[in-house]
Structure 1
Amino acid sequence: YPNTVNHFLKLNKVSADLHVINGSVEIAPNIGLADAICDIVSSGSTLFKNGLKEIETLLKSEAVLAVSPKISNESKTLLDTLQFRIQAVLKGQNSKYVLLNAPNAKLNTIISLLPGMKSPTVLPLAKEGWSSVHSVINGNEFWEVIDALKAAGAQGILVCPIEKMVV
Structure 2
Amino acid sequence: MSTVQGRLRIAIQKSGRLSERSLDLIRDAGLKWVKGANDLLYKVENYPIDLLRVRDDDIPTFVADGVCDLGIVGENVLEEDKNGGSHAEVVMPLGFGRCTLKLAVPPTMTYAGPRSLAGLRIATSYPKILQRYLDDQGIGAEIVTMRGAVEVAPRLKLAAAICDLVSTGATLEANGLIAKETVLQSQAVLIKSPTPPEPALQHLLDSIVERMAGVVSSQGAKYVMLNAPRSALDAITAILPGAGAPTVMPLMGRDDAVAVHAVCQEAVFWETLEKLKAAGASAILVLPIEKMM
TM-score range, shorter chain: 0.5 to 0.7
Q: How does 1:6-155 map to 2 (within 5 A)?
A: 59-62=16-19, 63=22, 64=72, 65-72=190-197, 74=199, 75-114=201-240, 115-117=242-244, 119-128=245-254, 129-140=256-267, 142-143=268-269, 145-155=272-282
Give SS of 2:261's match: strand
| TM, length-normalised to structure 1 | 0.54
**1:80 Cα deviation after fit:** 1.8
**1:66 Cα deviation after fit:** 4.2
Larger strand fraction of residues:
2
1:89–1:155 Cα change, 3 Å:
same
| TM, length-normalised to structure 2 | 0.33
Q: Which runs of 5+ in 2 are unaligned?
A: 1-14, 23-71, 73-189
Give SS of 1:159's match: strand
Q: Distance in 2 between matches of 1:133 and 1:145?
A: 15
1:149–1:73 Cα change, 3 Å:
farther
Give SS of 1:106's match: helix
Aligned to 2:286: 159
**1:161 Cα deviation after fit:** 1.6
1:70–1:105 Cα change, 3 Å:
closer
**1:127 Cα deviation after fit:** 4.7
Q: Which structure's relative contact order is higher, taking Cα pairs within 8 Å and 6+ residues apart?
A: 1
Cα deviations by residue, 1:21-80 (Å, 9 ceiling, x for unpaired): xxxxxxxxxxxxxxxxxxxxxxxxxxxxxxxxxxxxx84233225433223362443222
Give SS of 1:149's match: helix
Q: Which runs of 5+ in 1 are unaligned?
A: 1-57
1:61–1:116 Cα change, 3 Å:
closer
Structure 1 ranges of 4+ moved more than 4 A: none
Q: What amino acid is aligned across from residue 82 of structure 1 in structure 2?
A: I
Q: What amino acid is aligned across from residue 276 of structure 2 in structure 1?
A: L
Structural RMSD (CA)? 2.4
Aligned to 2:130: none
Q: Distance in 2 between matches of 1:68 and 1:121?
A: 39
